[in-house]
Structures are given as structure tokens and as C-alpha cells.
Amino acid sequence: MKKRGFFFVLVLALCSITFAETQQYTDLGTAQSLEVTEEKLSDAQANTASTVTVITAEEIKAYNAESTADLVSKAIGTSFNSSGALGAVQTVSIRGMGSGRTLVYLDGAPITSAHDSSFDLSTIPVSVIDHIEIIKSGAGNLGKAVAAGGVINIVTKKAAEDKPTTTVAFENGSFLPKKYTDGSETKQDWRSLVDSQKLDVTYSNKFSDKLALLANIGGIYAANQYTYTSGMNALSLRENAGLGDIHGMVNLNGKLTDEFSYQSNNLVSYQDYRVPGQIKSLSPNDYQKAFTFSTSNSVKFKNVAVNASYFYSPLSYHSESNYGTSDSLHKKHKGDVSVQETWSINETVSVRTGEEVSMDYVDSTDIGEHKRIEPRLYANGSLYFFDGKLQLFPMVSVSYISDFKRISPNASLGLVVPVLKNLDATVNVSYAENAPNFSQLYWPYMSNANLAPEQIANGEMGLSYTNDYFTYQGSVFGKHMTNAIAYDAYWIPQNIASSAYFGTEQAVTVTPVDGLSLTASYLFNQSYDLSNGQKISDGIEVSGIRKHTAKFTATYAYRMFSFSLDGQYLGSTYQKALPSIFLLNANVKVRIMDKLEVYAAIDNLLDTDYYFSYGYPMPGMKIRLGATYTL
């Protein structure tokens, strides 16, 4: 080992083993096939036995997903909750653990706020995303902490070509102009044919090895006036749910010397919503506004990387009712600074150590001012034995949560055994803690200041096999949570005794001929609510968890044409509190010339009437026509 230091000695004292070195991202998709690839992270991003899905740039382009949450939900094991169409609040959950236990990163920087422990994915436009990493077990490539419910890392685009390139993209979205009732009248809204529009302009240029620039500016307008089934199976028009959005991004990166590189990613967006929420008891004058600013900056010199990020997101509400007018404002700040060291030991052992400090500060008209500072020491690495036939990937992290005055440890250990040439067996065990958020602790009349952090243990075993025509990934997993936070009949959060989850994920991809790809996946997720002395034998499930989920994708590309069809079945929740849903989407693209591509996408092809939460009707069939022109 060429370099030794205090932090290396500290890691040895903490865990008596060595840890992993992160490698560069490897693109898993191709332009001719579409597959949300269920890979262990050692093949996708870093050396670890974590279970991961990488949604690549090619797959994002092929899907033409309307929102970031739609895109994330293509992967098995992930689901999102939405309160309507474009602009509605959209949060994501992994394997039923809830959005409050899922960490969201933007370009490797944490953006999930301690205000409510969730992040609204609708504030990040699809147009700026390069690829998405979904970590379902263990610490994954981020290596800083183990998330109780997993990690979503959204990576934005960067300049790739050594010449100036300008891309203009436009889309129009249409709902079917169905007849609906308005009081005693029957009406038909023909304006729904031009319900939403998107426009994005992106400039990219790699001036030299020292400077590459990608800049984006865009906007979205949506009336969101779609019909939904109301009382007595009559159709009503969704009103006062419009969205106005403007966003921009500037990303810079380069190498000043062979040993010194830098990267700066900056995103800003402003959204003016009407009421993307419940349709009852709302005034036509209700609205909400959101502003998002994110900057993530890093420099790397030899084996040391310094990262600094800041995320600011004020959210305001205006409500009018018979009881009067009320306004609320939630200013959410999150800052993070970290230093990472990479230690080259030999060809079979490497280690990465890090020191990090994150800060959450919230100034809210409802919960007041609160601050949480969390310093952290972490390390992750890799150990190879018997010429790689046995691979260990441990990780350890220790932080101090200032408002709880508590030390919070978490750790994971991954094992990979290459059984045959194309067949790998994996094992991953981990432990994580999840602190209550400020809303759970301090929201007026709906909080509990005595809440304790949740404690979650995870275990998973998997198999993966890949050849030129066939890919299989399968795993069985279990989770056990103590001090689980749940809401009682009065919507007061409580630490229930415990809950348990057992399940399996299975995914198969077949590419029988060039240009054709077929993917099918299935998730079984059995949950048990063990509060109030309940046992597994009682069969009481955790509310809101869908036991069965199945997804499939079929894509075909031939010359200038490409076609994709994807669907998902979401089974009902316990005692059918939420009914089962089947959704189908289709997409056709035609490259007319080298510079021009046009497409037609149909969301909810079967015009399914559904919702994720009562009182929040989701849109029926929507037809989106778009074009991309490259200058």
C-alpha cells in the first residue's frame, strides 16, 4: 500500500476488514434493445453485491416517459404514489418500504429533506436525466449509508461530443374529449386535445479536455383537465389542476491535469400548481408554488475527492374555504460536504474512506424552525480471494444525529461467488436506522415528539445468469423493522412494535433476434404488521403494500422505426384498501432524417380508471406527439 493514514487505521479498528473501490459507470443498454436491467452493482457501477437496477440513457430515450416517477416505476421493485397528472406530487417507494424510507440523490448528492423524509420527483424533468441507479439492498455505489428502503440516484446529462450540438424537443399531450356532466348539462371539452405542451432546448459542447458544457432550458404547461369517474359512475371534468413549469440546468466538467478533475452540476426549476390533489372541498382559488435549486460540485486530485452540495426548496400553499383563507410556507435547506480517500493496496484489495457532514434546516409556518446536523465517517471496499472466486464487499458507517443526540450506525456486507462462467450467486446483509422527520415530530395536532428512530435489518440472496440471448436475475429477501413508525386512527405517528417483510424478485430478458427484446419481471412482497402483540400467524399485513406486482416490456427496432410496449400489474393491498390495477403504454418512433425524430406515445392505452390514493383520480388515456431536432 503506497499511502497510509489516520482514516485507514480507523476503518481497520471499526470493522477489521477492508472495503471497495468504485469504478466508472458502464452503460448497460443499446440503441436496439430496451431492458431495465436487474444487475448486481459490481457489473453496473461499483464492486458490491447490492441489488441494483440501472435505467440507462438509451432506455430513457426509448420509453419517452412523461415524468421521472413514471420512468423510475418501470423497474421491478419500485412503485410511485401520485395525486394526479403532470405536476402532481409524486413519491417513490422500493419494495413497499414507503417513500419516507427511500433516499433520493441527485448526481450523488442527497436531496431528501428531513422536513418529511420524502422527495417529490415531479420537480426533476425527464429531459435533464442521463441515467438512474436504483439500489434495493445494501449501500450500493454511494457507499455512505444504508437506506432502510433503498436509494434512487438520478444522474443528469453531461456533454459528450467534441462539437457544439443544439437539440430542440417539443411535445403535445392530448386527452380524449369525452362527454361529462356539469350539473344538469352534458358537455365535451375539445380543448383537451391540446391539454399539455413541453419544450426543451439543450446545448452541448466539449470545448477541450479542460471544459465540457451542457446547458438546458425548458418549460411545461398543462391544464390537466381530464375526465374521471365520479359518483353514480358519471364522468366529471378535473378542474383547477393546471401546471406551469420552467426549468434550467448548467453542467460543467473537465480535467485540468491528468491528476486534477472537476465537476459542477446545477439545476433550477419553478412550478406553479393549481390543485394537484383532492377534488373535494377545494376552492377554485387554491394553489401551491414550488422552487427548486440544486448545486453539486466536486474536485478530485489523485486519490482524494472533495464534494460539496446544496439543495434549497421552498414550497408554499394557499387555501380558501368557508372557514377563511390560510397560507403556509415551508423553506427546506439541505447542505452536504464530504471528503473521500481511495487507497490502492494491491490488485485484490482496495478501500475507500470518507468523512461527511450534512445539515437539514427547515423554516415552516406549521412546524417552526428545526435543524439537524449529521457528521458521518464511512468506508466501503472490496476483497477478492482465490482468483476472484470469492468476493467480499463490506461497508460501515457511523453518524451522529444532533437533534436526537444519538450515534447512528449502519453497515452492510456483500458476498459474490461466480459459480460458473456466466452464473453468479450473491448474498447481502445490512442494518440501517431511519430517524423520524420534522413533520412526524412537530406537525400541529398530528405529531409525536417522543418518536424513536426506526431500526431495520435486511437480508437477500440472489442468482444472476447472462449470455448473448438470455438474462436472468432472481433474489429472495427479508426485512425486519423495529420501532416502525405508523399512524394511528387519529393520524398521530406511533412507534409500533415491529413489522416484517418477505419476498422475491424475478426478472427475465430474452433477445431472440437482433432488434427484439422481451423482458418480464415479478415481485412478491408479503408483509406482517407485528404491532399490539400481533404475530406472523395472525396474518395482519402492513397497510398500503401490494403483495403482487408484475411488469413486462417488448421492444423492436428496425431501420428507422422503433416500437415499445410496456405494462404493469399492481395487485391490491391488504383487505383491498387499494384495488388492483393494470396499465399499458405504447410508444412508436420514426427517424425521418439524421437530425429529426418524431414519436407517438400512448399512456394508459386501455383507458383504465384508477387511483393511488382515495380522492386523487389519475388520468385516463393520453396521447403524446413529439419531435426532437438536432442542429
Convert the pLDDT of each residue in 215-226 to its tens digit. Answer: 999 999 999 999
Q: What is the pLDDT of residue 532?
A: 84
Nearest-angstrom CA–CA distance, 46 and 397:
18
Average confidence score pLDDT of the chain: 86
Percent of all residues in the chain with a pLDDT value above 90, rounded to a whole number: 58
Q: Which three cell numbers stand for residue 521?
A: 419481471
Any domain includes 2? no
Give the residue carrying C-alpha cell 436525466: 129
Q: What is the pLDDT of residue 181?
A: 87
Any domain includes 522? yes
Nearest-angstrom CA–CA distance, 272 and 222:
11
Q: What is the pLDDT of residue 383?
A: 86
24 pLDDT band, cuts 50/70/90, is very low
Out of 86-100, 142-156, 195-209, 591-605, least confident range: 142-156
Nearest-angstrom CA–CA distance, 481 and 459:
12
- 356-387 residue pLDDT tens: 999 999 999 999 999 999 999 999 888 888 88
- 240-266 residue pLDDT tens: 889 999 999 999 999 999 999 999 999
- The bridge status of strand 227-229 relative to strand 196-208 is unpaired
- 494-532 residue pLDDT tens: 998 899 999 999 999 999 999 999 999 999 999 999 988
pTM value is 0.89
Any domain includes 303? yes
**Residue 503 pairs with which residues in a beta bridge?**
477, 525
Q: Which three cell numbers stand for residue 168?
A: 430542440
Counting Cβ atoms within 10 Å, is residue 415 exposed (0-12), middle (13-18) or buried (19+)? middle
Instruction: Answer yes or no: is pLDDT of 278 > 60.
Output: no
CATH code at 72? 2.40.170.20
Contact 386, 395 (CB under 8 A): no
Contact 558, 573 (CB under 8 A): no
Consecutive H or E run containing 60: helix 57-63
Coil vs helix vs strand at 347 = coil
Contact 46, 20 (CB under 8 A): yes
CA–chain centroid gap for 391, Å, is: 28
Any domain includes 4? no
Any domain includes 174? yes
**C-alpha distance from residue 193 to each of 84, 158, 174 (Å):** 18, 35, 4
Q: What is the pLDDT of residue 42?
A: 33
566 pLDDT band, cuts 50/70/90, is very high
Residue 266 neighbours by CB under 8 Å, 6+ apart: 249, 250, 251, 294, 295, 296
Three-state secondary structure readout of 132-173: EEEECCCCCCCCCCCCCCCEEEEEECCCCCCCCEEEEEEEEE
Any domain includes 1? no
Residue 358 neighbours by CB under 8 Å, 6+ apart: 110, 334, 335, 336, 337, 373, 374, 376
DSSP string for residues in 269-330 = EEEEES--S-SSS--TT-EEEEEEEEEEEEEEETTEEEEEEEEEEEEEEEEEETTEEEEEEE
304 pLDDT band, cuts 50/70/90, is very high
Where in the sequence is the domain holding 501, given as residue range(s)? 9-630
Q: Find which of 119-123, 133-137, 398-402, 490-494 is predicted with most confidence, using mean pLDDT.
A: 398-402
Q: What is the pLDDT of residue 11?
A: 33
Any domain includes 320? yes
Q: Which three cell numbers stand for residue 526?
A: 408479503
Q: What is the pLDDT of residue 206?
A: 93
Any domain includes 76? yes
CA–chain centroid gap for 235, Å, is: 33
Nearest-angstrom CA–CA distance, 86 and 195:
11
Domain count, the chain: 1
**C-alpha distance from residue 357 to each of 19, 25, 142, 307, 372 (Å):** 21, 26, 15, 11, 11
| 142 vs 260: which has the higher pLDDT | 260
52-90: string of b/e by CB count within 10 Å (b at 16+)?
A: bbbbbbbbbbbbbbbbbbbbbbbbbbbbbbbbbbbbbbb
| 147 vs 112: which has the higher pLDDT | 112
Three-state secondary structure readout of 415-436: EEEECCCCEEEEEEEEEEEECC
Out of 12-26, 547-561, 601-615, least confident range: 12-26
Contact 326, 337 (CB under 8 A): no
